Structure 1
Amino acid sequence: MYDTFAVDRLIDLWLTEDIGYCDLTVQVMIEPDEVGNFVMNARESMIVSGSEVAARVFKRYDPTLDVVLNAKDGDKVEKGTILLKVKGPARSVLTAERTALNIAQRMSGIANETARYVEKIAGTKARLIDTRKTTPGLRMLEKHAVTSGGGLNHRLGLDNGVMIKDNHIAVCGSIAAAVERARKKLPVLTKLEVECDSLDQVQQAVKASVDVIMLDNMSVADMTEAVRIIAGRAKVEASGGIRFDTIRPIAETGVDYISTSKITQAAPAVDIGLDEA
């Protein structure tokens, strides 16, 4: 889910970055009255994300373009599937092409990678969630792409919840003191999460009755013990150093959530092209 008003402002920035003063190539080669009829197609199997944003790029640049969506975000498609069709002034289609492809390739890549991780932990109670380690300016869309791939969103920003981390604890002196400070001003429906890097800290967090306990960079053995200690009194999140080859054993410890930046920071772009219809 994303805000279209905010997306339009992003699109304006993207188009300005790519076009500059003008698209010199189309200005010197393509006549103003020439019509283009193109399709955006998947050149590999993929989970679609960003197709709607790509369509919006074309319409934002030239509202006279006729754009028809053939695939929606979250769809699993095979190689050769047409994601959208665009028809109208050839100059406009060719000028906006790269920007539309870039965002669809990036977002679909994240959706693909997310789906890989989700499949890896299938059959366990653990749910995959993202982090705030996103491309500056693209967080809203990258987190939308995570949901397209079957993942869940953690905090969208710092205003979405209270997470007490090691440096907060260091300033306050202890987990108990940090939680006490936070609770004095915590909005009534806002969850409170504490990051723990030892079993001793887990016991302190349980005693403080927090909502979520994050197990940071713990071993699988310590995570298993932490889940036993917590015993359902708080939701449990595993984080830190999560990779595709390590996520399954972590999921089997009984944690509720596993957060990783790999699905946004390391996701390869997929191959999507724009070809003449």
Structure 2
Amino acid sequence: MTTTEFIAAALSEDVGAGDFSSLASIDADARGLAVLKIKEAGIIAGITLAEEIFRFLEPDVTFTAFKKDGDRVAVGEVAFEVAASVHTILKAERLSLNCMQRMSGIATLTNEYVTAIKDYPARILDTRKTTPLFRAFEKEAVLMGGGVNHRMGLYDMIMLKDNHIDFCGGIEMAIAKTNDYLKANNLDLKIEVETRTIDDVKRVMACGGVHRIMLDNYSPAQLEEAIQIIGGKYETEASGGIQLSNIVDYARTGVDYISVGAIIHHAVSMDLSLKAKTV
């Protein structure tokens, strides 16, 4: 889904047969000015998307941004100012706010995790635990917060998780069949395989044919042992049960990536408001 398709569908859901509140109370040719006010400190995200929403409704809108996506903002600051038809402003208001509040919450939480391990080389990864049809924007917000995107979907990376391995009949079989499939279909995709035990790691090392090893639900001590066994031959990713309270314990093991689904699905929306600017 393109950004334009998303905006069209989202506005159709919200506006429906018409914005009758505005149609009933505001003259069709009325012009207005509105400002996006910051009511909570954090990392702002979604300004570019907000501008696209306004321009979808009115291509010649005057949109003046005072902040850019990824900026740290404080309470009382103004992110942007928009001059347009009042009907445009009122139609775009809720969609713009919903998107920006969600994205800013994700960017802010991601940045908390990134900041917590700034003294270590590990990078924070997102997951596919996202809102349907809003994934691209949520993952964009992760980047704005300083994180790194994992795969976008099921199509851009091979990820052999526990269910794939169990249904297939084991780690060795899953890796072998995957490599055969990629070769037969002339596909250039990286392979990540999930491990649940130190024995799993040893089996992957004996088998080879992967790019990254996921170490799922390992304690920091187990993670350190696994990383020593891997010895830098493959990328490593820690996953499962990792929170702000313990992430440093995982980062100091030397793991390359730490995936945290919570940076998206546990993010709390930032408090923002779009207010008419009267002169």
Indicate the TM-score class for this superposition, using the shorter chain for normalisation: over 0.9
| Partner in structure 2 of residue 97 of structure 1 | 93
- Establish whether residue 245 from structure 1 lines up as the match of residue 261 from structure 2: no
2:276 and 2:201 mapped to 1: Cα distance? Answer: 59
Percent identity (aligned)? 41
Residue 266 of structure 1: aligned partner = 266
4+ aligned runs moved over 3 Å, structure 1: none
Per-residue deviation, 1:92: 1.6
- Structure 1 distance, partners of 2:163, 2:21, is 53
- Select which of 50, 56, 72 maps to 1:54: 50
Superposed CA deviations along residues 106-163 of structure 1, whole A, max 9, x for unmatched, are 1011000000010111111210000000000111110000000000000001111111
Note if contact 1:214-1:236 (Cα within 8 Å) is conserved in structure 2. Answer: yes
Structure 2 counterpart of 1:254, one-letter code = G
* CA distance in structure 2 between the partners assigned to 1:216 and 1:185 by the alignment: 25
Deviations 1:209-262 (A, max 9, x none): 221000011111111110111111111100112222121111111110000110
Q: Deviations over 1:61-84 (max 9, x none)?
A: 222422222222111122222211
Q: Does 1:191 align with 2:187?
A: no
Q: Which residue of 2 aligns with 1:112?
A: 108
Aligned to 2:127: 131
* 1:72 aligned to which of 61, 68, 74: 68
2:177 counterpart of 1:181: yes
Report the AA paired with residue 158 of structure 2: V
- Partner of residue 216, structure 1: 216
Does 2:14 match 1:15?
A: no
- Alpha-carbon shift at residue 35 of structure 1 (Å): 1.4
Residue aligning to 1:203: 202
- What is the CA deviation profile of residues 168-201 of structure 1, one whole-angstrom value per residue up to 9, with x for unaligned ones? 2123322111111111122564211110000000
| Partner AA of 2:249 in structure 1 | P
Which structure 1 residue ranges, 5 or more long, are not aligned? none
Please give the secondary structure, in 1, of the residue aligned with 2:233: coil
Q: Tell whether 2:22 aligns with 1:26.
A: yes
Give, in whole Å, the separation in 2 of the partners of 1:207 and 1:127: 27
Distance change >3 Å, CA 52–CA 191, structure 1 → 2: same
Please report the RMSD computed on the Cα atoms of aligned residues, expressed in angstroms: 1.3
Structure 1 counterpart of 2:237, which letter? E
Q: Distance in 1 between matches of 2:163 and 2:42?
A: 40
CA–CA distance in structure 1, aligned partners of residues 229 and 247 of structure 2: 21
Which residue in the other structure is 2:275 paired with? 275
Give the TM-score, by structure 1 length.
0.95
Which one is further off, 264-273 or 34-43? 34-43
Residue 87 of structure 1 pairs with residue 83 of structure 2: yes
Asked if the contact 1:206/1:234 (under 8 Å) is kept, the reply is no
Shift, 1:95, TM fit: 1.9
Among residues 154, 157, 161, which one is paired with 1:158 in the alignment?
154
The amino acid that maps onto 1:233 is K
User: Residues of 1 paired with 2:187 and 2:121: CA distance?
Assistant: 28
SS at match of 1:87: strand
Q: TM-score, normalised by structure 2?
A: 0.94
Which amino acid is the alignment partner of residue 223 of structure 1?
A: L
